[in-house]
Amino acid sequence: MAIVERPVTPALARGGPSTPALVTPSSALGVFRRPVSSTGWRSWVFTVDHKKIGIMYGVVAFSFFIVGGVEALMIRLQLAMPNGKILSANAYNQMFTMHATTMIFLFVMPTAAAFSNYLVPLQIGARDVAFPRLNAFGFWCFLFGGVFLNTAWFLGGASDTGWFAYAPNTSVAFSPSHGVDFWALGLLITGIASLSGAINLIVTVLNMRAPGMSLMKMPIFTWMVLVVQFLLLFAIPVITVALFLLIFQRDFGAAFFSVDKGADPLLWQHLFWIFGHPEVYILVLPSFGIVSEVLPVFSRKPLFGYKFVVFAGAAIGFLGWGVWAHHMFASGLGPVSVAVFSVATMAIALPTGVKIVNWTMTLWGGKLRFTTAMMFAIGLILEFTIGGLSGVLHSVSPSDTQQTDTYFVVAHLHYVLFGGAVFGLFAGFYYWWPKVFGKMLSERLGKWNFWLMVLGMNMTFGPMHILGLQGQPRRMQIWTNARAGDGFFNGAFWNLVATIGSFILALGIFMFILNVFRTTRKGAAAPGDPWDARSLEWMTTSPPQEHNFDTIPHVHALDDFFHRKYEEDEETGEITQVSNYEEIMHELHDKADKQFHMPSPSYWPVVLALGLPIIAYGVIFNRLLAVFGAAIVMFAIFGWSLEPSVADESDYEPPSDDESTKELATIG
């Protein structure tokens, strides 16, 4: 007999009808009983709880991180020496294509989704997202899409056209394996995850904030997530269209990119980068949000220039749409277009610079505690600055025609995406681990993790600046001594350094995995407010109960939790502690709501998502299979539509009249 937290309907809270002896969940479509368990594997597979979904996003995304990391190590091994022999040209091309695809679509984006899913409702004082089943559906699309993409390795080879997949190299004549089909269909499926997640979080943030939390009192992480969701909302449809064109080109004889039928292959580049550049901000803004939470907490100061950071984030969200062609400065757009995109690219450096200034000024005059989370956040400021500055150099378009498609760009993008996005995610891991799992990650291993990653990343990507400026193009299976040069900038030396660095980086990431295992097995239980934090997600238990808050807090200020704990003397600015976590929690608990309206688990999200890869396999191998997949999808859509959002009362045993178990119910 399990104890579950469950929706309590008014009727039940009043005492309800007489207790049924056996629990008989109501049926869905007359066939299946609605899932109700809150323990065991069923409680995960059929969950609609944003926290469980967030954790699943994180676990799956991190697994893909390891896959993408192994791919990266293979690439670096191949390039360690001249005329590398580790990978064939064909294998190498698949490797770098899948490395980028995996890291972008299957690691950074879903890890950001993990944080957003878990934290946004907590940060705004909500009990779940607006559309809980849609949320679960998004996760399953991501998982099945990602797995589908990677099954290509075993079914004739993965895509070998690069993650940018420039036409016409993606047509069947030039890429005859099914790799590109897997790639395009897989990304379409994961795109559904991003799109449904975007709509869900936008509605959640705009409608479900706690009373008193105006937009300008919203935590900065939630703000950045909101900007990212709008970017996704408009960017994903563009890549979706592009991928559809590509699939019709490859599998149904269309000619969208066939030059011999009058098409212009630059169409693909425009579509891809109109998605692809906002995508960069989609990847990096959540991490900007994370460090904007972490730096104030460990500096004991509010974020410097909160409004500026919010508006800078929004400005990036707008300007991000006007810079896509800076990926195409060598494509032959003509000087007028290139000039416009050069200037726009310079302009977007400004709001980005604003963030760096504000983070640094947040540190200034603070009381800095160097926890691992804080170190990753400070690391982000420095590493991202390097990537940002080399980005400004690319905006000088004539200069970019020398650097584009060389290792200089590889260095730039990894300083932005590893030094920026990934460092931010790691800051988030350390900062919110106690919140999510109720245990503290080891700070000692954390320091190892941080320093090895800093050393590894700079050893790996730093030399790539040199290699690129020395003229080593990217995406080359081999390099030769003949073009490596001599002296300090000798390419052979720096290629080897980069490879050694990549293994140090991998060791750093291994430290994190080790830390997670040790913490899970014998980590210290986390106090409720281990960091003396500032925002609402810390104003509940760790890990939070299913309904997040016993009572929805009323918000009076930005950093409301901090202001409940501390009072500021108006004149002297002196800070005095007036309360603490325990007292605030007691207060909230005493006012606990009598009933919570919580959504019930459902089969349909996972069933619906399962139909999609079956359709995709069908498109590639057998159209009948696609029909079968479509039937599953239709069935699930009907089931979903007819299912009430909350399970029948009779699915549960009612709670006892005893006040102490008012939010609990037991089922057999």
Between CA 350 and CA 356 the distance in angstroms is 10
DSSP secondary structure letter of residue 652: S
DSSP string, 141-171: HHHHHHHHHHHGGGTT----STTTT-TTTTS
**Closest distance between another protein and the C-beta of residue 338, in Å?**
6
Q: Among residue numbers 621 through 640, which ones bind another protein (CB under 8 A)? A: none
571 touches another protein by CB under 8 A = no
Cβ distance to another protein smaller for residue 52 or 465: 465
292 touches another protein by CB under 8 A = no
Tell me which stretch binds another protein (CB under 8 A): 11-19, 37-45, 477-485, 492-500: 477-485
Tell me which stretch binds another protein (CB under 8 A): 141-149, 200-208, 264-272, 630-638: 264-272
Distances (CA, A) of 644 to 311, 608, 663: 40, 16, 21
DSSP secondary structure letter of residue 27: E
483 touches another protein by CB under 8 A = yes
What one-letter code names the amino acid at 372? Answer: T
Cβ atoms of 447 and 525 within 8 Å: the answer is no
Cβ distance to another protein smaller for residue 302 or 543: 302
- Give a three-class secondary structure readout of 561-622: HHHHHEEECCCCCCEEECCCHHHHHHHHHHCCCCCCCCCCCCCHHHHHHHHHHHHHHHHHHC
Q: Among residue numbers 171 through 190, which ones bind another protein (CB under 8 A)? A: 172-176
Between CA 363 and CA 352 the distance in angstroms is 18
**Closest distance between another protein and the C-beta of residue 233, in Å?**
28
Between CA 451 and CA 462 the distance in angstroms is 15
Number of residues that bind another protein (CB under 8 A): 104
Cβ distance to another protein smaller for residue 404 or 535: 404
Between CA 115 and CA 381 the distance in angstroms is 20
**Closest distance between another protein and the C-beta of residue 85, in Å?**
13
The SS3 of residue 25 is coil
- From the list 190, 477, 535, 600, which residue makes contact with another protein (rule: CB under 8 A)? 477
Distances (CA, A) of 225 to 236, 278, 628: 16, 14, 37
Cβ atoms of 372 and 423 within 8 Å: the answer is no
Which of 568, 566, 565 is closest to 584 using CA atoms? 565
- From the list 248, 264, 642, 650, which residue makes contact with another protein (rule: CB under 8 A)? 264
**Closest distance between another protein and the C-beta of residue 444, in Å?**
18
**666 beta partners:** 3
Tell me which stretch binds another protein (CB under 8 A): 36-44, 60-68, 301-309, 653-661: 301-309
Which of 31, 48, 232 is closest to 136 using CA atoms? 48
Binding string, residues 572-601; x marks residues near another protein by CB under 8 A: -xxx--------------------------
Distances (CA, A) of 595 to 51, 503, 543, 550, 588: 20, 53, 20, 9, 15
- From the list 16, 147, 217, 265, which residue makes contact with another protein (rule: CB under 8 A)? 265
Between CA 450 and CA 509 the distance in angstroms is 9
Q: Among residue numbers 211 through 240, which ones bind another protein (CB under 8 A)? A: none
Tokens 């995304």, residue located: 61
**Closest distance between another protein and the C-beta of residue 470, in Å?**
5
Cβ distance to another protein smaller for residue 373 or 636: 373
Tokens 């009727």, residue located: 11
Tell me which stretch binds another protein (CB under 8 A): 2-10, 84-92, 188-196, 607-615: 84-92
The SS3 of residue 539 is coil
- From the list 304, 494, 512, 596, which residue makes contact with another protein (rule: CB under 8 A)? 304
**Closest distance between another protein and the C-beta of residue 92, in Å?**
8
Cβ distance to another protein smaller for residue 351 or 523: 351
**Closest distance between another protein and the C-beta of residue 160, in Å?**
8
Which of 577, 544, 567 is closest to 663 using CA atoms? 544
307 touches another protein by CB under 8 A = yes
259 touches another protein by CB under 8 A = yes
Cβ distance to another protein smaller for residue 117 or 342: 342
Tell me which stretch binds another protein (CB under 8 A): 60-68, 189-197, 256-264, 659-667: 256-264
Cβ atoms of 278 and 320 within 8 Å: the answer is yes
Q: Among residue numbers 376 through 415, which ones bind another protein (CB under 8 A)? A: 378, 381-382, 385-386, 389-390, 392-393, 395-406
Between CA 3 and CA 18 the distance in angstroms is 19
Cβ distance to another protein smaller for residue 68 or 485: 485
82 touches another protein by CB under 8 A = no
Tell me which stretch binds another protein (CB under 8 A): 82-90, 113-121, 214-222, 611-619: 82-90
Q: Among residue numbers 312 through 371, which ones bind another protein (CB under 8 A)? A: 330-332, 334-335, 338-339, 342-343, 346-347, 349-350, 353-354, 356-358, 360-361, 363-370
Cβ distance to another protein smaller for residue 34 or 178: 178
